[in-house]
Chain A
Amino acid sequence: MITIPYLTALTTYFSYGLLFAFGQLRDFFRKIFDWWSQSTLQGYAPICLGLEDFYIRRLYLRIQDCFNRPISSPPDAWFDVVERISNDNNKTLKRTTRVKRCLNLGSYNYLGFAAADEYCTPRVIESLKKFSPSTCSTRVDGGTTTLHAELEEWVANFIGKEAAVVFGMGYVTNSAILPVLMGKGSLIISDSLNHNSIVNGARGSGATVRVFQHNTPSHLEKVLKDQIAEGQPRTHRPWKKILVVVEGIYSMEGELCQLPEIVSICKKYKAYIYLDEAHSIGAIGKTGRGVCELLGVDTADVDIMMGTFTKSFGSCGGYIAGSKELIQYLKYTCPAHLYATSISPPAAQQIISSLKVVLGEDGSSRGAQKLAKIRENSNFFRSELQKMGFEVLGDNDSPVMPVMLYNPAKIPAFSRECLKRNVAVVTVAFPATPLLLARARICISAAHTREDLVKALEVLSEVGDMIGIKYFPAEPKKQQLEEGRVKLE
């Protein structure tokens, strides 16, 4: 739960109101102007009507240069950000040839496999020569190579489940698995802050979807009880099956899911559980096996475990791990397996090599070093930021750290000032977060050294003072904070 001070809430509302009013005024003049000129597509309804893209045209375009920044080097701890200029007040941005070497606090590079790695890259290039960049075929037709079979075995062993199936993209994994498992007459209960891919998959499945309060097992229990007692809407027939969908680490909050309580509730009410470990696999836990290892949950209790390889393993793709029967059924029915091109062989080799490094099977202790480094780095950074007075969300051990900004004017200010000082950060606003709760999200990597982090802290402190986002006093006293604050959920 985020508590926002009264004054900040008022000023944020006021800023948005002002932006909205200005936007409406400009729209009004644009309408008059358009009335004079013609449009080329007469008789066709426009692509966006009225207020549908108001936010994009009038608010987002003003700060467009803070997003979609192109880079021209691998997304390692330090990278080159390409500079862009605009001739028409930020409506279009053009690339220049100048680059700026910046510290990377934005990419998902938890274990540092992003750039060319000494163990992985030679093997990847070998597999490229042997299997070429794509199989141009679906898994069931002619797209299964020995690499794919090997990869699925390694993944299943790493996660601790009987079998696994791998797809070429994490987003498609969620969107194509949920419709297969759940149909009409089933119930999906998902966390209120779940990722867009899960929301899409749940919608596409045709099942009824209910939402429970973010990370609150007591509310989940209440929703489960009510739904089982009530049955399907209108007919009151009993539900066919119930699936509870949660994530390991929530990427916008940095929080860990309260998995042991949720698992025990699901067992009590006989609901199935689906765990999406996109950000947590490889990044947390003593050996990198994710949130189950960290919180001490047996993997046999979680029915379906899903994850992606983009974040910790420096590759692309997603996987589903479960019992042998489940995987056989999915391989027979899932559209992502039957219709989509199989994962590119070099990417598969990268995952296998990075798994070997993490497990220590490459003959060195780099894997264990990386895991220890990321935990150390995240805890150090988080505690330092909190000491400075920033409002940082998330639990200990999680490498994702959102720093609250709130005010819409502070979003571009923070981003641009940090870039001037050679630190690249990611700022997130509406619609990825609620309107009032804009934030900057920092992702720590095992490739960051202690000097990098110290430099980042200096820059953040300087910029924070300039902009005024140190909402807590440095070394906060708990009693003084509770009064005069508005609790926001």
Chain B
Amino acid sequence: MDTMFSAFETMVKSVSDWVTLAFDRPSARAIVFGVPIKGHLLVEGLLFVVILFLLSQKSYKPPKRPLTKKEVDELCDEWVPEPLIPSITEEMKYEPPVLESAAGPHTVINGKDVVNFTSADYLGLLGHDKLQDSCTKALEKYGVGSCGPRGFYGTIDVHLDCEARIAKFLGTTDSILYSYGLSTMFSTIPAFCKKGDVVVVDEGVHWGIQNGLHLSRSTIIYFKHNDMESLQSILENVTHANKRTKKLRRYIVVEAVYQNSGQIAPLDEIVRLREKYRFRVILDESNSIGVLGSSGRGLTEHCKVPIENVDIVTAAMGHALATEGGFCTGSARVIDHQRLSSSGYVFSASLPPYLASAAITAIDVLEGNPNLITKLKENIATLRKGLLDVQGLEIVSDPESPIVFLTLKKSTGSIKGDLQVLQDIGDYLLKEHSIFVATSKRSTVDKCKLPAGIRLYVSAAHTKTDLEKACESFKKATAVVLADQ
């Protein structure tokens, strides 16, 4: 044991002696620039050189080879585009019925007189003498078109008068006119909501608002249709998540009477939430101007909310005011900003002057005859009562809304199937009973997921016999069409 150990010891000693000798040999020593190089320094020096060499090598990247001209040409030849439009299916060939007279409460289709529930002429002003008069005068004076955008001699004095009249009627400082109802919302929203802002919007809004939000590139959060608790919880989350409140603009966008369902938004709740969480409110009053409130001033009057509490109010005039175009109203700051940064106002021709004068006359008539609004409310109540016991269809719209929205009690399972059934009911009503109604149609780019239904626009000019006839016909139609389901 001892001998083995001592032998091992001597072996190690001899090896180390040999190594030290090798390193201390005169040849391993050198004097470079006056510095003696010991043996270990040589090893370190060699290591250092090896490291430098490895570092200087390029890392391995597969070489980048741009496509040659021949390859580019080949790719271009091979590429086959999709057809511009998908193939036409049967339902695409649908043609709506063609009217042969004015779209009032009664109209003529195919030579037959029908009761018309598709025209949103809530106060029955279409064909009113005063409107026809003022339009004729304006046509004789100004011609039809205004031939220019507002910035370049397209501002005619009737436009300025109309804006002042609307502002006076609603009680705001100023208003701005747009030349088309649909473009009002999708020009107003991008003027105020920019990238990075937060917008909380109802999921049932119409396409104009959806497009405006998409163009604004803000963060969009949807809340459940007309559900205030869902709205509140979302506002809570947003306020707590974002502490940089100084630079972040926040908006709530709602419609007064929803085009897609006939519900009415509870404005007093929304304004209360606005004060609490400091969000600005954008309200679309297309279907409520001239309808809600005791004098027709819209949802703000109906819910007893002062109009200063709603920051931006927009509306399309193609409904109660029986003309075309749209307007936006609010404080002076809001309106002045839009005159230069709203694209649908700056880059588009202005509203034809005869439509602006029709709007002024419509407001004058409305202010002078508040009994039109009471008549409309009566008609809505009569119609709703009569339609309550129609089998297979139920009314989902609000009792005060001028749009009476009927959906199928038992859905067929798909939107397409529903639309087909509703379309059959509509066709039957038109052919057999001379009642003209509209089913809600959805575009492929529309993101709204609310159920489809039949929309009835009630007008103050409908007579009691019209409404009773409609209710009777509905009962008969559903009995026939839905009996097959």
Residues of A161-204 at the interface with B, using a CB-CB cut-off of 8 Å, are 168-172, 175-176, 179-181, 195-197, 200, 203-204
Q: For the complex, give the distance between the alpha carbons of A70 and B155 in Å.
A: 5
Contact residues of B with A, CB < 8 Å? 67, 71-73, 75-76, 79-86, 88, 91-94, 96-104, 107, 116, 118-121, 126-127, 131-132, 135-136, 139-148, 150-157, 159-160, 179-183, 186, 192, 206-208, 211, 214-215, 245-250, 259, 278, 280, 316, 318-319, 322-324, 333-334, 337, 339-341, 343-344, 346-349, 351-352, 354-355, 358, 436, 438, 441-446, 455, 457
Among A321-329, A371-379, A457-465, the stretch that binds chain B is A321-329
Which residue of chain A has its CB nearest to the CB of B192? A47
Complex interface bits, A61-88 against B, C-beta within 8 A gives 1, otherwise 0 = 0000001111111110001011000000
Taking a contact as CB atoms under 8 Å apart, the answer to whether B181 and A341 are in contact is: yes
- Within 8 Å by CB of A130, from B102, B154, B183, B316, lies B102
Task: Quote the shortest CB–CB distance from B393 to chain A (angstroms).
Answer: 18
Taking a contact as CB atoms under 8 Å apart, the answer to whether A48 and B337 are in contact is: yes
- Within 8 Å by CB of A135, from B103, B145, B206, B343, lies B103
Q: Give the number of chain A interface residues (Cβ < 8 Å).
A: 116
Taking a contact as CB atoms under 8 Å apart, the answer to whether B180 and A171 are in contact is: yes
Q: For the complex, give the distance between the alpha carbons of A204 and B210 in Å.
A: 10
Residues of chain B within 8 A (CB-CB) of A56 are 340-341
Which residue of chain B has its CB nearest to the CB of A424? B153
Q: For the complex, give the distance between the alpha carbons of A385 and B266 in Å.
A: 62
Flag whether A271 is at the interface (Cβ < 8 A): yes
Q: For the complex, give the distance between the alpha carbons of A335 and B182 in Å.
A: 9
Taking a contact as CB atoms under 8 Å apart, the answer to whether A329 and B86 are in contact is: yes
Contact residues of A with B, CB < 8 Å? 43-45, 47-49, 53, 56, 60, 67-75, 79, 81-82, 95, 104, 106-109, 113-117, 120-121, 124-125, 128-137, 139-146, 148-149, 168-172, 175-176, 179-181, 195-197, 200, 203-204, 224-226, 228-229, 238-242, 269-272, 303-304, 308-311, 313-316, 325-326, 328-329, 331-336, 338-341, 344, 346-347, 350, 424, 426
Taking a contact as CB atoms under 8 Å apart, the answer to whether A325 and B103 are in contact is: no
Residues of chain A within 8 A (CB-CB) of B354 are 133, 346
Which residue of chain A has its CB nearest to the CB of B248? A45
Taking a contact as CB atoms under 8 Å apart, the answer to whether A142 and B103 are in contact is: yes
Residues of chain A within 8 A (CB-CB) of B148 are 75, 106-108
CB-based closest 8 A-B pairs: A142-B118, A141-B438, A341-B318, A169-B180, A340-B182, A171-B348, A141-B118, A350-B144
Which residue of chain A has its CB nearest to the CB of B455? A141
Taking a contact as CB atoms under 8 Å apart, the answer to whether B132 and A74 are in contact is: no
Taking a contact as CB atoms under 8 Å apart, the answer to whether B343 and A196 are in contact is: yes
Taking a contact as CB atoms under 8 Å apart, the answer to whether A132 and B441 are in contact is: no
Taking a contact as CB atoms under 8 Å apart, the answer to whether B103 and A137 are in contact is: yes
Taking a contact as CB atoms under 8 Å apart, the answer to whether B278 and A44 are in contact is: yes
- Within 8 Å by CB of B436, from A131, A136, A142, lies A142
- Within 8 Å by CB of A335, from B140, B248, B443, B457, lies B443
Taking a contact as CB atoms under 8 Å apart, the answer to whether A239 and B81 are in contact is: yes
Q: For the complex, give the distance between the alpha carbons of A72 and B141 in Å.
A: 10
Residues of chain B within 8 A (CB-CB) of A341 are 180-182, 316, 318, 324
Residues of chain B within 8 A (CB-CB) of A269 are 76
Taking a contact as CB atoms under 8 Å apart, the answer to whether B72 and A69 are in contact is: no
Contact A75/B126 with A132-B104, A145-B99, A336-B182 known, Cβ cut-off 8 Å = no
Q: For the complex, give the distance between the alpha carbons of A179 and B118 in Å.
A: 27
Chain A to chain B contacts (Cβ below 8 Å), 10 pairs = A45-B246, A47-B334, A75-B154, A121-B143, A131-B103, A143-B99, A168-B324, A171-B344, A329-B85, A424-B153
Task: Quote the shortest CB–CB distance from A50 to chain B (angstroms).
Answer: 9
Taking a contact as CB atoms under 8 Å apart, the answer to whether B443 and A334 are in contact is: yes
Residues of chain B within 8 A (CB-CB) of A130 are 101-102
Taking a contact as CB atoms under 8 Å apart, the answer to whether A124 and B344 are in contact is: no
Task: Quote the shortest CB–CB distance from B350 to chain A (angstroms).
Answer: 9
Taking a contact as CB atoms under 8 Å apart, the answer to whether A106 and B126 are in contact is: no
- Within 8 Å by CB of B155, from A68, A114, A144, A176, lies A68
Which residue of chain A has its CB nearest to the CB of B84? A272
Q: For the complex, give the distance between the alpha carbons of A130 and B183 in Å.
A: 27
- Within 8 Å by CB of B153, from A69, A309, A326, A329, lies A69
Task: Quote the shortest CB–CB distance from B437 to chain A (angstroms).
Answer: 9
Residue picked from B81, B101, B103, B144, most chain A C-beta under 10 Å: B144
Contact A335/B207 with A180-B443, A269-B76 known, Cβ cut-off 8 Å = yes
Which residue of chain B has its CB nearest to the CB of A354? B144
- Within 8 Å by CB of A316, from B91, B145, B346, B442, lies B145
Residues of chain A within 8 A (CB-CB) of B457 are 137
Residues of chain A within 8 A (CB-CB) of B214 are 204
